[in-house]
Amino acid sequence: MMRLEGGRMLVVGGSRGVGRAIALEAARRGADVAILFRSRRDEADSVLAAIRAEGRRAEAVQADLADPAETRRAVDEAAAALGGLTHLAHAAGAMGQWAAVAEMPAEDWQRYIAVDLNGCFFALSAAIPHLRRSGGGAILAISSIAAQMCQARNAQGAAAKAGVEALIRVTAKEEARHHIRANALAIGLTDTDMARTAFDAWGPETAARIVKGIPLGRIATPEEVAGVACFMMGEECSYLTGKVLQLDGGQIIAG
C-alpha cells in the first residue's frame, strides 16, 4: 500500500459515497483528513469517528459549494485545523433527474454547473494557496466517464464533468512550478446514492442491460475508487500531472 504518511488532506464531499471512502483510505495511509460537507452532520460525524479510529486528526467543515465565500471560508478553516494542506480531493457532485436537453428544467442545469463545475473551481482556487505554502502537493478531482460518453438525458453531468477535466488540466499547467500536481479520475458506475438514482430513472431492465454491458460485469465499489484516487495523489505518482484516468470496468471500450 502506498503511504500518504504525514499528509494533510481536504476531501470535498467527504461525508458520503466516494468522498467518504477517499477520506477513510487517506487516513489508513497515514494522512490527517478534513472533510467538507453540505448538510448531513450525522454522516460527517461518522466519518470523523472512523478517521480518528485510525489514529489521525480529523475535522469537518460545512459549506454550500455553490457559494464561493462559504467555500473559501470552509477551506481556510480546514487548513487551519490541520496546520496546512498538502492534498485536495474533490469528490462532491449534484444529484438530479435525468432529462433530455429539450425537457431539462433550467434549475437542474444550473444546480449541476453550480456544484460540479463552479464548486470545483471555488474549492481549487481556495485550496491552492494553502498547498503552495506547504511547498507543493497534489489535487485529485473525481470526474465521470459521462464527459466522454455523452449519454442521452445527461447533458448536465457530461458538460459539468468535461469542464472539471479542463479545469484540472489548466491547473496542472499553472501550478507545476509550485510543485503541485493535478489530475482527475473519471469513474463509471459506482455503488453510491447517485448510481442508485440513475438506476431508478432507467428502470430495472435498462439498468441490468447496462451493467451486463460492462466488460468486468459489475459496478465499482467506493473503496476501489478511493484506492486509485489515493494512489494518484501519492508519492509513487510524483511524475503524473494533467491527466484524466478512466476507472470504469471497461465500460467505455464496450461501446
Which three-class secondary structure string do you get for the chain?
CCCCCCCEEEEECCCCHHHHHHHHHHHHCCCEEEEEECCCHHHHHHHHHHHHHCCCCEEEEECCCCCHHHHHHHHHHHHHHHCCCCEEEECCCCCCCCECHHHCCHHHHHHHHHHHHHHHHHHHHHHHHHHHHCCCEEEEEEEECHHHHCCCCEHHHHHHHHHHHHHHHHHHHHHHHHCEEEEEEEECCECCHHHHHHHHHHCHHHHHHHHHCCCCCCCECHHHHHHHHHHHHCHHHCCCCCCEEEECCCHHHHC
Closest Cα partner for 186 from 209, 211, 153, 157? 157
pLDDT of amino acid 150: 84
Give dist(CA 33, CA 194) in Å, integer.
24
Please give the single-letter amino acid code of residue 60: A
pLDDT of amino acid 50: 98
pLDDT of amino acid 197: 78
pLDDT of amino acid 2: 56
pLDDT of amino acid 151: 83
Please give the single-letter amino acid code of residue 87: H
> In degrees rounded to 5, what are phi and psi of residue 236?
-70, -15
The residue ranges of the chain whose pLDDT is under 50 are: 1
User: Does the pTM of the predicted model rise above 0.85?
Assistant: yes
pLDDT of amino acid 98: 81
> Which residues neighbour 104 within 8 Å (Cβ) at sequence distance 6 or greater?
155, 156
